[in-house]
Amino acid sequence: MITARYMRRRRANSIAMALSIAAAAIGLMFLTLILATLVVRGVSGLSWRVFAEMTPPPGSDGGLLNAIVGSVIMTVIGLMVGTPIGVLAGTYMAEYGRYAKLTHVIRFLNDILLSAPSIIIGLFIYEIMVVRMGHFSGIAGAIALAIIVIPVVVRTTEDMLLLVPNSLREAAVALGAPRSIVIRTVAYRAARAGILTGILLAMARVSGETAPLLFTALNNQFWSLDLNAPMASLPAVIFQFALSPYDDWQQLAWTGALLITVAVLAGNILARSLANIGAQPK
């Protein structure tokens, strides 16, 4: 018996389900649109020049070499500073202080730091480093990035170490291994893939960050490896060039945008597949 009420319910169901399919389609559409624009506008500017020449003054040819190198340097230093702190802090939370009050407090604050506006981290580093040193510098930019790395690595390290079965630790302790050896040779080894995923995710996140670099590393039109001087970075150059009125600068901005997105998404996908491999039972 098909009543009017039943028809109404069926119709409401179809409408709602159609809307949810539409929502997914809209989400995918934006992703495709953004990526397609990047490829279309970015590829036309790709040439050996991009990787071999410095950022040009308006109206002449040039590339993005100093910006790429600056980004790589600051990202690497940021990771080198942030990763050990993040891994050790995550180790404390999962191993030594698993049931400590301090761990709960840190977990809560770390989650807030994880989503804190990155421009505020830029202001913080400006206050404590740039003002003290009296000038903008690459090292200040790298430290700002390190502060963004820390919460990402802390979070994944803690989560991954908590997944390591306690029986593994107990077996090692029964053999007479001291706590630190148990953690380093047993727990870390079991959680290796997960911790590496966290570091990769942090790298992907950091290499696209602009806001914290604006008033720490500033920008630099020229080739510079001096960590004590302002340093160029891809995001900062994109910001400057995209908002300029010059066509060739805008073209370079699109090419830089394509490079960054490819690097960041590749890092993201790599991290995800690594996490999947790590999650599978051996």
Q: Which of residues 229-258 bind another protein (CB under 8 A)?
A: 235, 238-239, 242-243, 253-254, 257
Q: How far is the CB of 181 from another protein (least distance, A)?
A: 7
Q: Which stretch binds another protein (CB under 8 A): 50-58, 60-68, 143-151, 167-175?
A: 143-151
Contact 190, 91 (CB under 8 A): no
Closer to another protein by CB, 25 or 52: give it: 25
Q: Which is nearer to another protein, 52 or 277 (CB)?
A: 277
Q: Is residue 123 a contact point for another protein (CB under 8 A)?
A: yes
Among 39, 65, 85, 274, binds another protein (CB under 8 A): 85
Site for another protein in 43-82 (CB under 8 A): none
Question: Judged by CB under 8 A, which of 72, 119, 227, 270 binds another protein?
Answer: 119
**CB 226 within 8 Å of CB 204:** no
279 contributes a contact to another protein by CB under 8 A: no
Per CB under 8 A, does 214 bind another protein? Answer: yes
Determine if 126 is a binding residue for another protein (CB under 8 A). Answer: yes
In degrees, to the nearest 5, what angle opens at C-alpha 242 toward C-alphas 240 and 246?
Answer: 95
Applying CB under 8 A, the site for another protein has a residue count of: 91
Q: Is 259 in the site for another protein (CB under 8 A)?
A: no
Q: Which of 248, 246, 247, 216 minimizes the C-alpha distance to 232? A: 216
User: Token pair 């090292």 is at which residue?
Assistant: 139
Closest among 186, 93, 74, 63 to 141, alpha carbons compared: 74
- Specify the residue, 85 or 196, whose C-beta has the smaller distance to another protein: 85
Residue 89 to residues 56, 158, 185, 253, Cα–Cα distance (Å): 43, 8, 17, 38
**Cβ neighbours of residue 246 closer than 8 Å, sequence gap 6 or more:** 58, 59
Neighbours of 204 (CB within 10 A): 20
- Stretch touching another protein by CB under 8 A, among 49-57, 70-78, 163-171, 265-273: 265-273
